[in-house]
Every structure is written in structure tokens, then in C-alpha cells.
């Protein structure tokens, strides 16, 4: 099976990327190909990079409180490019009710502070395996 390709991005004005770097390293250590876009990415930049890099997963790290705007915008931009097959997941400071609302709008599972990286790795691997089974 080919490696899972993941784009890790920090949208918006949030300047704290330690968590995103920890996640990127953990995914890489788990055998995934990881592209980290760095700080201050717009949804347009993130969607363009996801398409250019032909990723399977976009992981957004948001601590700024703009998750109800940024997650749906990235999803909309990918949809416009016909890339509904890309999983959008992520984490940060996101209240449970917002996580539930985002899930209803097609965003994958979201993870809060203190989540073990193995939980995210398992989630992505399970999602990818299921997608591969459906495409076979």
C-alpha cells in the first residue's frame, strides 16, 4: 500500500505552531508523507497546496477560534476543484458543539488539546483503509 499523504496547515492569524509540528512529526514517524505549510495560510493557499501535492488528508490546526469559518472554507474550495475525496480533519481549541456542527458539514473527526497522537494516526489509517476498500 502506498504511503498516506497528509498536508498539515495553520490557517489564519494564529502564530502558535508547536502542536502542528508535533503532529506532523508523529504522522511522519508513522510512515505518512507529510507536507507542513507553515504559519498564516489562507484557505485558498491550503486548498491549492492540497491539490498540487495530491494529498489524501488535510489537517488543520486552529487555536484562534476561527474554526467555524476556516474549516468550511477549505472544504468548499476543495469541493470546487472536485476533490471531495480529501479528508479534512484537525484540531485545536474547538468546543464539542462546534466539532459536532463541523462534522455535520463534512469535516472529519476533530481533536482537542491533550489528544494522543496515536488516536489521530489510527483515525487517518482507518479512514484511508476504508477509502481504499471502497475504491477497489
Q: Is residue 136's pLDDT more than 90?
A: no
CA–CA gap between residue 51 and residue 53 (Å, rounded): 5
SS (H, E, C) 22-87: HHHHHHHHCCCEEEECCCCECHHHHHHHHHHCCCCEEEEEECCCCHHHHHHHHHHHHHHCCCCCCE
Report pLDDT digits (tens) over 71-113. 999 999 999 999 999 999 999 999 999 999 999 999 999 999 9
pLDDT of residue 71: 97
**What's the whole-number mean pLDDT along residues 108-129?**
96
Q: Is residue 10's pLDDT more than 90?
A: yes
pLDDT of residue 13: 83
Q: What is the pTM of this model?
A: 0.96
What's the farthest any 2 CA atoms get from each other in the chain? 41
Domains assigned to the chain: 5-135 (3.40.50.280)
Q: In this structure, what are the phi and psi dihedrals at residue 110, rounded to the nearest 5 degrees?
A: -115, 150
- Give, for 51, the enclosing helix (H) or strand (E): helix 43-52
Report pLDDT digits (tens) over 35-64. 999 999 999 999 999 999 999 999 999 988
pLDDT band at 34 (very low <50, low <70, confident <90, very high): very high
pLDDT of residue 53: 97
Amino acid at each position: 500500500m502506498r504511503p498516506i499523504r497528509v498536508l498539515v496547515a495553520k490557517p489564519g492569524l494564529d502564530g502558535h505552531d508547536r502542536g502542528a509540528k508535533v503532529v506532523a512529526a508523529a504522522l511522519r514517524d508513522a510512515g505518512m508523507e507529510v507536507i507542513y505549510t507553515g504559519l498564516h495560510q489562507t484557505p485558498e493557499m491550503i486548498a491549492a497546496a492540497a491539490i498540487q501535492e495530491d494529498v489524501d488528508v488535510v489537517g488543520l490546526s486552529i487555536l484562534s477560534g476561527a474554526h467555524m469559518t476556516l474549516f468550511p472554507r477549505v472544504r468548499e474550495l476543495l469541493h470546487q476543484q472536485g476533490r471531495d475525496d480529501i479528508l479534512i480533519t484537525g484540531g485545536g481549541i474547538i468546543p464539542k458543539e462546534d466539532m459536532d456542527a463541523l462534522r455535520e458539514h463534512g469535516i472529519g473527526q476533530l481533536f482537542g488539546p491533550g489528544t494522543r497522537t496515536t488516536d489521530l494516526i489510527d483515525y487517518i489509517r482507518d479512514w484511508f483503509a476504508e477509502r481504499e476498500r471502497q475504491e477497489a
